[in-house]
Amino acid sequence: MGEIVEFSSGNAYKERCKCLVNNGIVVWDVLASSVRPGSLDSAIDIASARANDFPGLLERQPGIRLIGFNGKKARDLFDRLVVRTVSLPDGCTLVNLPSTSPAHAAMNYTDKLDHWSVIGQFINRNDHDEI
């Protein structure tokens, strides 16, 4: 994200978050909670999975134009737990992105960045509602 919205990964966490917000970007997990022994997404216990409040988010932010998924599992969970509960804003694009996890070593950094760069097409720099 730093290369897309031009901040250094060495910046303080609060500064990086502010830069994302200033570019109209919010980062939010599909899941609010779940049981997951270990760190791999494949270990998520689907029966315990609870989605974040996407209906509320989309009601508060009807101008959302892009929802990007960090890896296949995030999209699968959204499709399974969320998609039937929401009305997406007109023109909202859903895009599957390669996981940024180091565990996804099948794709190198340059190729991942190329895929993730689609986000740049949706940025309204400093022209967004408060999130």
What is the mean pLDDT of the segment spanning 71-77? Answer: 94
Predicted pLDDT at 125 = 52
In CATH terms, 2-122 corresponds, of 3.30.390.10, 3.40.50.800, 3.40.470.10, 2.40.50.100, to: 3.40.470.10
What is the mean pLDDT of the segment spanning 97-114? Answer: 87
Predicted pLDDT at 128 = 47
Residue 124: is its pLDDT beyond 80? no
DSSP the chain: -HHHHT--TTS-HHHHHHHHHHTT-----SEEEEE-SSS-GGG-EEEEEEE--HHHHHHH-TT--EEEEESHHHHHHHHHHTGGG--PPTT-EEEEE---STT-TTS-HHHHHHHHGGGGGG--TT-----
Residue 40: is its pLDDT beyond 80? no
Backbone angles phi, psi at 68, to 5 degrees: -105, 140
Predicted pLDDT at 96 = 95
Cα separation, 3 vs 9, in Å, equals 9
Residue 103: is its pLDDT beyond 60? yes
What is the torsion angle, in degrees rounded to the nearest 10, for the CA atoms of residue 55, residue 59, residue 64 and residue 66?
10
Whole-prediction pTM value?
A: 0.83
Cα separation, 96 vs 98, in Å, equals 7
Q: How does pLDDT run across 49-60, given as a tens digit for each residue? A: 999 999 999 999
Residue 129: is its pLDDT beyond 60? no
Q: What is the mean pLDDT of the chain?
A: 88
Q: Confidence band (pLDDT; 50, 70, 90) for 131?
A: very low
The structural domains of the chain, with segments of one domain joined by +, span: 2-122
